[in-house]
Structure 1
């Protein structure tokens, strides 16, 4: 007993839309593999209203050619009957396989465009949707260069970057910070600092959702999500946005920062190791604003502001007591 042609056509459409059930898929494949059912296959013109996302022209031509071959009546003789049955069965199976591959193609692996900065240098980048990213020194930004489409905007950041997200990307923009956090953008301006020991997400305006495997936080302007690598904890904190994001305007703001903290900044920003002649010097505090990418000026300001002497040679900085 032949299935209703309209029902078979419905199965084709549901297969193309991705709404077909496993039972219906089995029915469709079984139908295609049965001898004598070739006349019931949808004709090429009937395939026109079957949506086929991701179907390229060459693949479309191949499957329609196979369907046309199967639906073209061929006179059968006793001598050629067996070979015709074998041919039809093999062709039907091939069509079934072609349809499965055609409507459910393997997901294309993203081709990531990579933009990096060296020590002491920043870059401003415009992404395909108009989003601007200011990339700080010693940082890397990646984004999918093959499928930058609405609903599929994703970027990866290691280091520090300030995002000014284009309005039309609101709700469709995802940032992966290191390997621990994802930031879902809800139309906003925010800063991410993703380093080995910790990750900070500082919100200047708008709204973002920050999450890891265990916790999800929705930030309001002036708040920061802080992830500590040592314990895997994600917490919400009040943020000094000027201090934490002023770098994008070439201003590094220090507020009661210890020289140990400043040494960490110098290591990240310039790749230079800072050592202290005595441990007590590392706890001296400094408050002020300096250019973010001018190490010599920073060291000069520290020398004049604190009772210290600084010796800089090659990639080493030694801080000592003033003589």
Structure 2
């Protein structure tokens, strides 16, 4: 169906006149990403052409009524009805304005299903294409509601997640995008993507993955293989590490921390990311101390208790107001 034929149905939807058949056709039409852009373009055009804010409506009404009465005194009899009509039209316009604003503000909620985890929480999802995603703590994933798997598979990740992507008969690529403009493309494989405030990385379990940073002018993507780990700098530079041990990067799926000569300052970062707590290290020497080993902990308190025994240090749980971030101080 051409755009010229389809546009009236979209406008009818904005005005609340769309039939069930039109709504069904619109839902199918929105599965194309280009159609989604056109949808919001038409919405902005419709809002400009249908201003919902009536400025000084009473003054405009009385001016029109007085002019009509001067030309024909008999029209004064219809003034009460006209005022009531203007009142109801104002209500209708307000409803349309609210609908337009809600559609614009909540368009992400309309077009995407969002999944989120909180402090210490893990979540495993089965996507419409039968791919599986496991979200680490304090992470979020946006998945399109319409057409996922038919022509493309594109999701948006903030935080950390492991993907087990199913290859489809139509060879639709699975694309992961992150806030720092990292693009990860696969057909079917297992990999992990980490994207938080201090940087990003990709860890590949099986198959091949194509990476590209949209921050740089380089158009040639980086192809990585199983066992590779790629870190991404704040400027979009990709650094490839071959034949890496993947266990330390994936232990979080079992609530495990895996360290190999890891500094206390790095451990503090990981606790903040996973449990949402704030760690204050009172001594610079303590911050540089390192430990190794595997530790399982589902709360910050449980891990810090083990850390205190290993390093023979004190962990002070600071008093914080209700609802504020819990703070711990590490000291000798």
2: distance between equivalents of 1:136 and 1:105? 28
Q: CA deviation at 1:141?
A: 0.2
Aligned pairs (5 A) from 1:117-266: 117-168=117-168, 171-213=172-214, 214=218, 216-229=221-234, 231-238=235-242, 239-266=244-271
Runs of 4+ in 1 over 3 A off after TM superposition: none
Deviation larger for 206-215 or 267-276: 206-215
Tell me the equivalent position of 2:312: 307
Name structure 2 gaps, 5 residues minimum. 10-31, 38-107, 321-325
2: distance between equivalents of 1:150 and 1:202? 27
Q: CA deviation at 1:153?
A: 0.7
Change (3 A) 1:280 1:148: same
Change (3 A) 1:105 1:132: closer
Residue aligned with 1:167, SS: coil
Aligned pairs (5 A) from 1:265-280: 265-280=270-285
Q: CA deviation at 1:292?
A: 5.1
The one-character-per-residue Cα deviations of 1:50-80 (angstroms, maximum 9, x if unpaired) are xx79x87x97xxxxxxxxxxxxxxxxxxxxx
1: distance between equivalents of 2:172 and 2:34? 26
Residue aligned with 2:203, SS: strand
2: distance between equivalents of 1:106 and 1:173? 18
The one-character-per-residue Cα deviations of 1:10-60 (angstroms, maximum 9, x if unpaired) are xxxxxx8xxxxxxxxxxxxxxxxxxxxxxxxxxxxxxxxxxx79x87x97x
Q: Is the 8 A contact 1:253 1:290 kept in 2?
A: yes
1: distance between equivalents of 2:164 and 2:221? 22
2: distance between equivalents of 1:165 and 1:299? 35
Aligned pairs (5 A) from 1:1-150: 107-109=35-37, 111-150=111-150
**Radius of gyration: which is bigger?**
1
Residue aligned with 1:108, SS: helix
Length-normalised TM-score, structure 1 = 0.64
Residue aligned with 2:189, SS: strand
C-alpha root-mean-square deviation of aligned residues, in Å?
2.6
Q: Is the 8 A contact 2:166 2:187 kept in 1?
A: no
Aligned residues: 225
Tell me the equivalent position of 2:88: none
Name structure 1 gaps, 5 residues minimum. 1-15, 17-51, 60-103
Structure 1 residue 320 corresponds to structure 2 residue 331: yes
The one-character-per-residue Cα deviations of 1:78-116 (angstroms, maximum 9, x if unpaired) are xxxxxxxxxxxxxxxxxxxxxxxxxx9971247011111
Q: Is the 8 A contact 1:184 1:209 kept in 2?
A: yes
Residue aligned with 2:151, SS: coil
Tell me the equivalent position of 1:22: none
Deviation larger for 113-122 or 234-243: 234-243
Q: Is the 8 A contact 1:157 1:194 kept in 2?
A: yes
Change (3 A) 1:299 1:209: same
Residue aligned with 2:36, SS: coil
2: distance between equivalents of 1:292 and 1:140? 22
